[in-house]
Structures are given as C-alpha cells and as structure tokens.
C-alpha cells in the first residue's frame, strides 16, 4: 500500500447530549398523545346530547393556572442556582416548585369534587364529561408523575447526593416540567376559553 493519500483530519467533535435528545423525543411523543385528546375535545364541543354544559359548570381556574405556570419560573430559577453550584438556593426553589405543583393538583381535585357531587358531571354523563375528564385527567396524571420525580430529586438533594455536576441532568428533567406547563396552556385555552 504505497502513496496513501493523507486523510482529512476530523475537526473538534461535538454531539448533542443524549439526555436532552431523549427528553425532547419523549416530549414529541407526548405532544402527539395530547394532540389527539385535544382534537377529540374540540370536535365534541357542543355535541353532547344531554347533561350539563361547560358554561353551566366550569369556573375558570385562574389561581391554579397562576400557580402551575409560576412553577415553571421557579424551576427555571432552581436550574440557574444549581448551574452556579448554589445547592441551598437550588433546593429552595425546587421545593417551591413542588409546592406550587401540589397546589395545582389539590385545586384540580377540589374542582372535580364540585363537578361530580354538586353538578353531577362524571366521565359517563355526556360527551363533555368524557372528553373533559379524559383531557384534564391526562394532564393531571402527567403533573403527578412530574411531582413524583421532583420529590425524588428533592430527597436526593436534601441527602446531599445531588451536586453541581448534575446540573445538565436537572435541566433535562426540568424540560419535562416545562412541557407539562405548556400543555396546560393549551388545555386551559381549549377547555376554559374556547369550549365554554
């Protein structure tokens, strides 16, 4: 093998972080699931044959929404803290995020209690009931999963296992939480504004 041409030298080699890619892929898939439920909700607006209508029974959950959307801000602040290695600040903002998420879930529970026991709206009452509880319930399930993850991370933080070098992973997890909040913006608009 004589006269081998000199192969081009490969320059610096940068690849995206696999955690980020994976989380964005998961979010893409989840977006598709939510889209189908939103489409079903929108399609069935006004098509219930009987039973309570959105206008009759839905109150706009302003306080809940403010809490949930604020939790995106608090989690972002937490990300900034851990990026700078400030673990106590990180834990504080992280805990606040959990608290805000919990308020949202409890608020949803209160809303549902009223709808079921006062207004008589269940998942089997009519098309509105079916699509409402399915869509809002699907979102609430994702909030609960997020809260479980957030809580586990808080426990690991308080026991000293989470360090500055985990900043990237925290950001990847936070992407999920931001996604949950973004979905709420859509669900809120469709259910409480467009659909009423």
Partner 1 sequence: MADQTLPMSGSLDVTPRERSRAVLLEWLHGWVVTVDHKRLGILYVVYSIFFLLVAGAEALAIRIQLAWPNQHFLSPQVYNRMFTMHGTTMVFLVGMPILFGFANYLVPLMIGARDMAFPRLNAFSFWLTAFGGLLLYYSFVGGFGLYGMGSAPDVGWWAYAPLTAKAFSPGHATDYWALALIVSGFGTLGTAINVIATTLSMRCRGMSLLRMPLFVWLMLVVSALTLVTITPLTAAQIMLVIDRYLGGHFFDTQAGGSAVVWMHFFWIFGHPEVYVLVMPAFGIASEVIPVFSRKAIFGYPAMVAASVGIAFVSLGVWAHHMFTVGMTSVGNAFFVLSTMLVGIPTGIKIFNWVATIWGGKIRFATPMLFCIGFLFQFLIAGLTGIMLSVAPWNWQLHNSYFVIAHFHYVLVGAIVFNIFAAIYYWYPKVTGRMLSETLGKWHFWLFLIGFHITFDTMHFVGFLGMPRSIYTFEPDRGWNHLNLIISLGGMIQGIAVLIFAWNLVHSYFRGKVAGNDPWDAWTLEWATPSPPPVYNFAIDPEVHSRRPLWDLKHPEDPDWKYEA
What is the binding site for partner 1 (CB under 8 A)?
1, 3-5, 7-8, 10, 13, 15-19, 21-22, 25-26, 28-33, 35-37, 40, 43-44, 47-49, 122-124, 126-127, 130-131, 134, 138
- Cβ distance to partner 1 smaller for residue 103 or 119: 119
Cβ atoms 195, 42 nearer than 8 A: yes
E-state strands within the chain: none
Q: How far is the CB of 125 from partner 1 (least distance, A)?
A: 9
124 Cβ contact partners less than 8 Å away, ≥ 6 residues apart: 130
The tokens for 170 are 């925290």
Q: Using the minimum distance from each CB to partner 1, give the nearer residue, 25 or 189.
A: 25
How far CA 109 is from CA of 23, 52, 64, 104, in Å, comes to 28, 19, 11, 9
Minimum distance between the CB of residue 18 and partner 1, rounded to whole angstroms? 4
Closest to partner 1 by CB, 76 or 112: 112
- Quick one: 44 or 192, whose CB is closer to partner 1? 44
Token couple for 24: 């964005």
CA distances from 111 to 117, 170, 174, 184 (A): 10, 32, 27, 16
Q: Is the Cβ of residue 16 or residue 160 nearer to partner 1 in the bound state?
A: 16
Report in angstroms how near the CB of residue 21 gets to partner 1 at its nearest: 5
> Quick one: which of 78, 108, 111 has its CA closest to 93?
78
The number of beta carbons lying within 10 Å of the beta carbon of residue 159 is 8
CB of 54 to partner 1, least distance (A): 15
Minimum gap (Å) between residue 94 Cβ and partner 1: 24
């Amino acid at each position: 093998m004589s006269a081998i041409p000199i192969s081009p030298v490969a320059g610096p080699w940068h690849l995206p972080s696999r955690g980020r890619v994976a989380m964005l892929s998961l979010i893409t898939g989840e977006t598709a699931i939510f889209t189908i439920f939103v489409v079903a909700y929108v399609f069935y607006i006004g098509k219930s044959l009987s039973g309570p209508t959105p206008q009759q029974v839905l109150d706009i959950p302003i306080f809940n929404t403010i809490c949930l959307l604020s939790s995106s801000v608090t989690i972002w602040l937490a990300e900034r803290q851990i990026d700078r290695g400030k673990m106590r600040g990180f834990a504080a903002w992280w805990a606040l995020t959990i608290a805000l998420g919990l308020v949202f879930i409890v608020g949803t529970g209160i809303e549902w209690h009223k709808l079921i026991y006062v207004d008589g709206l269940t998942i089997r009452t009519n098309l509105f009931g079916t699509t409402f509880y399915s869509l809002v319930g699907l979102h609430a399930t994702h909030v609960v999963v997020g809260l479980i993850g957030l809580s586990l991370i808080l426990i690991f933080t308080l026991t000293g296992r989470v360090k500055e070098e985990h900043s990237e992973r925290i950001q990847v997890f936070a992407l999920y939480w931001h996604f949950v909040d973004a979905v709420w913006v859509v669900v809120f608009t469709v259910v409480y504004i467009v659909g009423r």
